[in-house]
Amino acid sequence: MSRMPVDERRAALVAATLAVVERDGIAGASARAIVNEAGMPLGALHYAFTSLDALMDAAADAVTDQERIAAEPPPGAAAGSLADVLREGLAAYVDLLAAHPARELAFLELMLRAARARLDLPAGPGRHARSYAVMAELLEAAAAATGTRWASPTDALARHAVATLDGITTTWLADHDTPAAHATSRFLAAALAHHAVPPADQEA
């Protein structure tokens, strides 16, 4: 383990963090519990990360990356309308939520932990910054794939989308109503698509 490259060590600690939070909740995610899960000595955490907080942030980012991969269309997939592409991507997120609810609950716990730490700080994106950036990238990619352009700033649309997805996540975790979650994701896709200019209406 001492010769493990630092990138591999970080990845193993992130995976261990998510496993511990999924199983025991954020209250059980002590540094010792995480390194025990990873099969590493306690000092390995501080070798790979500057602090336990930094490891928790990396774990949250890992879930965001997994969600992005789920929402991205597969390479070579034929693109329909913008609304179709958005519906498919958001449906993939709902399917991921339903398939791995403990992972999404762990993500929420990590985000709430970070939110508590900045209660007295001024306005700012906080730990949602990465989610906003990923969503903006997905919106830009969807527009490019369908020959459309956004009539509203993608950073504003990304915030609306992330806020709605947070609601989809928390309500699904409360009621496990997957058809209702898909209905809300379709509502979100339609609302987002309303802020786009279709190819036929664009200037030459």
Q: How confident is the model at residue 198 (pLDDT cuts 50, 70, 90)?
A: confident
Give the confidence band of 127 by pLDDT, cuts at 50, 70, 90: confident
Backbone angles phi, psi at 122, to 5 degrees: -70, 175
What is the pTM for the complete model shown? 0.88
Average pLDDT, the chain: 91
DSSP conformation class of 196: E
DSSP 73: P
- Residue 53 pairs in a beta bridge with none
